[in-house]
Every structure is written in C-alpha cells, then in structure tokens.
Amino acid sequence: MAEIILKNLAHSYLKHPSGPSDYALKKIDHVWEDGKAYALLGPSGCGKTTLLNIISGLLTPSEGSVIFNDEDVTNLPTEKRHIAQVFQFPVVYDTMTVFDNLAFPLKNRGHDKQTIEKRVLEIAEMLEMSDVLNKKASGLTADAKQKISLGRGLVRQNVAAILFDEPLTVIDPHLKWMLRMQLKALHKKLNRTMIYVTHDQTEALTFADKVVVMYDGDVVQMGTPQELFERPAHTFVGYFIGSPGMNVIPAHVEGAQAHIEGCIIPLSQGYKGISGSNVEIGVRPEFTHLSEDGAGLPITVKRIEDVGRHKIVRADFFGREINITVPEGVPISDRVNRVSFEADRVNVYSESWIVDGEVA
Amino acid sequence: MNKPMNNKAWFMVLPVVLLVAFSAVIPLMTVVNYSIQDTFGNNQFFFVGLEWFEEMVTSERFHNALGRQFMFTGIILAIEIPLGIFIALNMPKKGWGVPVCLVLMSLPLLIPWNVVGTIWQVFGREDIGLLGAFLKAIGVNYNYSQNIIDAWITIIAMDVWHWTSLVALLCYAGLQSIPEAYYQAAKIDGASRWATFRYIEFPKMHRVLLIAFLLRFMDSFMIYTEPLVVTGGGPGNSTTLLSIDLVKMAIGQFDLGPAAAFSLIYFLIILLVSWVLYTIMTNLDKKGA
C-alpha cells in the first residue's frame, strides 16, 4: 500500500510539443491518498486513460515524475510496480481455467504452490467465484471475466493501487449495479487505493470518496460528490455533473447583485472587481423555482419532460435555454412565466473558473 | 412450418453440377479409367482390375519417391512454421515499417513457380551464380547438380525463401487481431516474453496457424516445377519427389496405367493426411477452448 504522488506531471504523445494543445495531459500535481477510492471523471479524450496508464507504467510521462511513497517509479516498468489494472474490455487468458488465470500473476512472480493456492482460493471466495474455479475462463460471461481481471489484481498482496479503466462498459446494465456494489464492498474490506476511470457520473459519484474531474487534459476539480454538485469549480464541472447540468448565464456582477438583460438577481455574497464579458453565473436546475408574474426572470416554457422522480422544464430566456427541476407532485400551471434562483446557490464564474465572494 | 416443395428447383443447381463435372469429376474418372486398364497400342484397352494398384503399392520406386516426399515436406514445415511465427512476432505493428514489410514479404509469393526455380538454378551455379560463385570463392565445395546434400539444401532453401512469407503473413494477421489491452494486462501480471507468447499470442494465432500448416503441407506435397527446374530430380533420383516421378512415368515413359494408379494413390494420401491433421488440430482447438 502506498500513497501515490504525481509531481509536475505532463504528457504529450508528440515528440516535440509546441503548445498547450499538443499535450494530452497538462501539468498535474496531485496526491492520491492511501486507501481511498477515487473516480476519475471526464468526457472521452480528456486524458483520463493517459493518466491511468502513466500511473501503471504502461506509458512513460514526457515530463514530471510518479512517486509511490518515497520511491520514484517514473522509469520503472509496469511489472516492477505494485499496480493492478482492470481494462475496459475484459482480459482473460482464454486457454486457462479460472484458477490458473487468478494464479498467473503469482506464478509469474515465482511464488510457491501452497501460497498460490491459498491466495487464489481466498480471492475466489471474496469474488464469489469459488464454484467456477475449474472452468475455462473463455466460456464465462463478460461480468465474470471482468471479475477475473480484478481478481488477478487482488491476488497480489503488495499491490499499492488498483486502477480501473471504464471497467463496466461492456457489462449488462442490471449487472453493472451489482458489480459496482461489490467493488465498493471490496474497497471497504481491503482498504486499497482504487482509481476508477469513467465518463459516467452516476458510476463516479456512487463509487468514489473523492471525484477528480478532468477536462481537456486538465484536472478541473477534485472533491466529494457533494462539493462537485454544490460548488462546481469550473463551468465544465457544472455542465458535466448533474442531469440536466448547471445553468450557466453570462451576467454583469456588481457587489451582491447580478444583472442579466436588465433583470436583477440577488446574490448571497458580494463580489468586487470582476467585470467584462467573461463573467457568468451558474445555478443548478434543482435550486430554481417557477412562479407566475411577480419576481424573477421572464421566461417562456418550451417543454416539460417527466423523468419520474421529477419534471424538467425547458424554458427560453432571451434566446437562451434554462432548465428548471420541479419535484414530483408539484403542479405546473400553464401561466408560469417567471423563474427565480436561490441566492445562496448561485455561483459566480470568471473566465469559466469560480470566484469566491465576500460575505456582504 | 409448411414450406412449399418444388422439385423443379433442382434444375437451378444444374449449371454448378455441369461445371464441377467437366472440371473435376470427369477428368478424375478418366484417370480412374486408365488405372484399371492396360493397352498394347492401337487404342485398344483391356481390363486388368487392381493390378496396377498392387504393382504401385509394392513398387520400390514409389516407396522411395514417397519417402523423399515426406522428408521434404517434413523439413520445410519444421523450418517454415517456426520461422514464419518468429518473423510475424518481430514485424512492426504500426508506422511506415508495416507497408514496407508487407510488400517485401509478399514479393516471393508473387513470383511464378518456374521463375523461382530459374532464379535459384542460376543463383546456385558455381560459374555465374551469386551464391555458387561466392561459396566457391570462400572455398566451400558446393555443387547442387552432383552432390545430393547440396541439391537438398538448395531446394529446401528455395522453398523456405518462396513460402515462409505466407506463414508469416497469416500469423501476422492473427497477431494484429489481439487488442492492446491483452499485452498491457500481461505486463501488469508480470508475464515473461515466453508466457505472453504461450498464453496470449499463440492461442489467438493457432487458427491461422492451422490454415498455414495445411496449406503448406498440401502445396509442398504437390510441389513439382521448382525442384524440377533446379535439379531435374537429380543427382540420380535423389530429389525426384512424387509429382516429378509421376510425370516421368506418365509422360516420359507413357505408362498410363501405372501412372494413373500412382496419381490416385497420391491423391488419397494427400486427402488422408490433410484430414487427419485437420481432425487432430480441431480437436485440440476444442479442448483448448
């Protein structure tokens, strides 16, 4: 077990990167604490897999270093690092039985027979696979194969971290849930560091203690699911997390007020010295309220989607779409034409990054 | 289900039946016809039953040719299959090297058989051949037209040169279908190079290997033109493989009856060996799966 430290890490697939856009991974300084469950969340192509492969050693970063505890492992090959990785598509050794698959990493490292057998049986028990140990791995279902991949990581006792690269992509939806719960339970039991790459926010939020959101090669925010939801540090996090994502509206902010198209929106904090065209306010659909006439921004309701637990109202506000979430059971009259925001839930962004206000 | 039956539909297969009949069945039947008759000329034939077959299976000449044939096929398979795998494993997987390799390796496959024979015939000559003259210059006594070993080395080297690329290209295709994640997982599991080959590459390759093996077996068992051009079956009869012997008998000596029996036995041997190999390998495949 170990703490994993990334120092000034950056990676470009080009030999001579000339600008920031040539980097698949921009400069990252980050510490993965021992024993925590992390999710690495971001859209496809944002550098998640690159980061993961650098940690496991499948890729050597072009800049910076990777440190396990106190040991610099940047140039250490994968097999010398104490890392396990589970890939998007289940990898099993087709010609071997499940037992041999699980024993493979130990055999390769020259452990003796008794140790191997004891360890494999233990892990099989944990993964609830004891009854298929003597079956050929190739005949199993995708989720069982994925459990074998995971098991091959777990049998090694000195593994510092287990990395998951979108491991549930090819699993049937009803099994996804079960497997994810099993993973979470395993994490609680083993207390190993787990880093879980996904582009599915539900997966990330349910699995992880801490979620790291990546966007275009940058880590834009790291925090608990709640932090990401309530105070997205970057407008991208606001869009990406939540369904629908945060409403982001360009505004003019002065003191504790935001001005949009001549309307005034009260804020809970005061902001000084931010102005210009790149100021925006962000508010989640969950913290908006519809009303008839009275206070708030004028809107035109365009359509209402009933998604079961709540309704999503898509409305037009000066040519811009605003989403409003209305809880189940609350009627929506056909005369609503105003929306108001909860003042303490409105975040202010400048150049896409959040700005801290002062208590007014 | 109640499907309408229409026996007239059988007429639809008539063109294929005719085609197969004229291209395969009827010519084969004429061979069968020759194999059970004898003639003293004048186009008069009489029935001799299985006499020619009996003569062939007990003939020393046939046994010797068959022995040489198995030796030739065995040696080239033992060289070409491992060498082909080795080359495939070491071919570049991406970049500009891929097309270069593919084109270079396909070249020998595109050269007509008797041109290959001529190339090697000239290549090995000690007066003007690059190889022969070179060996002579460094003092090696090499002469494929007089020394049996040299003749064998030459025709085997020629076949390896001509056909190893086929094995390599087939294996390469098999290797290309392995997703990168398998290699990454093997690295993480600490697998050695040999273990990676044994448990990842070989299992994914063994289907194409089966095809490569069968193709090379059948082709080399029927080889005719190349050794004929290089050695003409000599020195003596030392490189007279089955088909060379068959042609000598049928067209050289005009012994149509024995030659027909010879070719039928020859055909049955290829069929039998291919079937046995195929069955063994597919059974292994099932056990492996």
| Model pLDDT for residues A204-222, shown as the tens digit of each residue | 888 888 888 888 888 888 8
Q: In the structure, what pLDDT confidence band is assigned to residue B287 with cuts at 50, 70 and 90?
A: low
| pLDDT tens string B168-214 | 999 999 898 888 888 888 888 888 888 888 888 888 888 888 889 88
For residues A304 and A333, give the distance between their C-alpha atoms in angstroms, rounded to a whole number: 11
HSE (CB half, 13 Å, CA atoms) of A246?
28
Q: B94 in contact with A at a CB cutoff of 8 Å?
A: no
Distance from CA of A9 to the nearest CA of B (A): 21
- Name the nearest CA neighbour of B155 among B181, B205, B108, B116: B116
Residue B288 has pLDDT above 70, yes or no: no
Give chain A's contact residues with B (Cβ, < 8 Å).
53, 56-58, 77-79, 83-85, 87-89, 91, 93-96, 104-105, 108-109, 136, 138-139, 149, 152-153
Q: If we measure between CA atoms, which residue out of A48, A51, A83, A66 comes closest to residue A162?
A: A83
- What's the whole-model pTM score? 0.74
Q: Closest Cα of chain B to A206: distance in Å?
A: 26
pLDDT per position as a tens digit, A5-17 = 887 888 888 877 7
What are the tens digits of pLDDT across the range A69-85?
777 888 888 877 888 88
Cα B100 from Cα B87, distance rounded (Å): 14
Give ipTM to 2 decimals: 0.74
Residue of chain A with shortest Cα separation from B191: A108
Q: Under a CB-based contact definition with an 8 Å cutoff, are residues A108 and A116 in contact?
A: no
A80: exposed, middle or buried (C-beta count within 10 Å: 0-12, 13-18, 19+)? exposed
Measured CA to CA, the distance from residue A68 to residue A4 in angstroms comes to 5
- Asked if A86 and A153 count as a contact pair (C-beta separation under 8 A), the reply is yes
- Which band of pLDDT confidence, cut at 50, 70 and 90, is reported for residue B62? confident
Contact across the interface for A87 and B185, Cβ inside 8 Å? yes
- In the predicted model, is pLDDT for residue A1 greater than 60? no
Mean pLDDT for chain A overall: 83
For chain B, the residue count is 289
Helix residue ranges, H only, chain B: 14-20, 26-35, 51-58, 60-90, 97-110, 113-123, 130-137, 148-176, 180-188, 193-196, 202-221, 225-231, 242-247, 256-288
CA distance B150 to B147: 5
Would you state the structure tokens that stand for residue A181, as one six-digit string? Answer: 């719960």
pLDDT at B15: 92
Contact by Cβ (8 Å): A84, A152 = yes
CA separation, residue B12 to residues A126, B4, B7, B21 (Å):
62, 16, 10, 15
pLDDT score, position A185:
84
Range scoring the smallest mean pLDDT among A84-88, A244-248, A268-272: A268-272
pLDDT value for A184: 84
Average pLDDT value over all residues in chain B: 86
Please tell me the distance in Å from A203's CA to the nearest CA on chain B. 22
To probe the interface with B, which of A85, A86, A148 has the most B CB atoms within 10 Å? A85
Asked if pLDDT for residue B243 goes beyond 50, the answer is: yes
How far CA B54 is from CA of A241, B166, B246, in Å, comes to 85, 38, 16
The yes-or-no verdict on residue A277 having pLDDT over 70 is: no
Which range is most confident: A120-124, B41-45, B115-119? Answer: B115-119
Query: What percent of chain B shows pLDDT beyond 90?
Result: 20
Instruction: Name residues whose C-beta falls within 8 Å of residue A237's C-beta, 6 or more positions apart in sequence.
Output: A213, A215, A220, A221, A228
Phi, psi angle pair for B73, to nearest 5°: -60, -40
Residue A115 to residue A296: CA distance in whole angstroms: 69
Which pLDDT tens digit goes with each residue over B129-162?
888 888 888 888 888 888 888 889 889 999 999 9
Cβ distance A108 to B192 less than 8 Å, yes or no, reads yes
Using pLDDT thresholds of 50, 70 and 90, give the confidence band for residue B289.
very low
Q: Within 10 Å of residue B274's Cβ, how many Cβ atoms?
A: 14
The dihedral formed by the CA atoms of B149, B150, B154 and B155, expressed in degrees to the nearest 10: -40
Would strands A193-198 and A161-165 be described as parallel, antiparallel, or unpaired? parallel
Using a CB-CB cut-off of 8 Å, the residues of chain B touching A109 are 190
Give A311-349 pLDDT, tens digit per residue.
Answer: 888 888 888 888 888 888 777 877 788 888 888 888 888
State whether B189 and A108 contact (CB < 8 Å).
Answer: yes
**pLDDT above 70: percentage of residues in chain B:** 98
- Pairing of the two strands B45-47 and B37-39: antiparallel
| A10 neighbors A26 (Cβ within 8 angstroms) | yes
Contact between A145 and A172 under an 8 Å Cβ cutoff? The reply is no
Query: B-chain residues within 8 Å CB-CB of A87?
Result: 181, 184-185
Per the document, the length of chain A is 360
pLDDT of residue A224: 86
Of A95, A104, A153, which is closest to B203 when you measure between CB atoms?
A: A95
CA distance A138 to A210: 35
- Tokens 């203690």, residue located: A209
Residue A168: name the closest of A193, A204, A139, A136 by CA. Answer: A204
pLDDT digits (tens, 9 = 90+) for A147-185: 888 888 888 877 888 888 888 888 888 888 888 888 888
Q: Do A108 and B184 touch (CB under 8 A)?
A: no
